[in-house]
Amino acid sequence: MTVMITMEELKKRLQERQCKLTPQRQIVLQVFIENHDEHLSAEEVHQILREQGSEIGLATVYRSLELLSDMDILQKIDFGDGRSRYEINKRDEKQHHHHHIICLECGNVKEFEEDLLENLEELISKKSNFNIVDHQVKFYGYCQECQKKREN
């Protein structure tokens, strides 16, 4: 289930956190709106912006991504490939975030919406007297295309 986020919603989230939506932040966020199913690195965001004719610098992209991540507008994710990736934080505070499946060959990342860990989380919470508010799961393996290539 893909949730579409609008610039107006993101602008409202920033205002709630007393943060301005500068032109640089707006064009960075627009990249995520237009690529809503992607998990983009700073370099990928910068490349997309350059292809669109933007003069924004890579350092500005990094600063914008870090600020937007710190404010929970974007979610920063580490898939173990040495680069932080980002996506719009679409979740409702009452819902867990989706999980990811990552291909070790091509690096393709897909979202997995099913939350199979609710019972385990409840058990851990009760046994440890720990208030769990979220969790993240990453599954690593080979996508269908890479499996075919590996068989040949």
Annotated binding residues for Fe cation, as ranges?
97, 118, 135
Which amino acid, 91?
Answer: R
Task: Tell me how far apart the terminal alpha carbons of the chain are, to the nearest angstrom.
Answer: 34
Contacts with 67 (C-beta within 8 Å, 6 or more apart), sequence order: 19, 25
CA distance 46 to 61: 6
| Residue of 57, 100, 51 lying closest to 75 (CA atoms) | 100
The position carrying tokens 């898939």 is 79
| Residue of 39, 137, 25, 21 lying closest to 88 (CA atoms) | 39
Binding site, annotated residues: 97, 103, 106, 118, 135, 143, 146
Binding site, annotated residues for Zn(2+): 103, 106, 143, 146
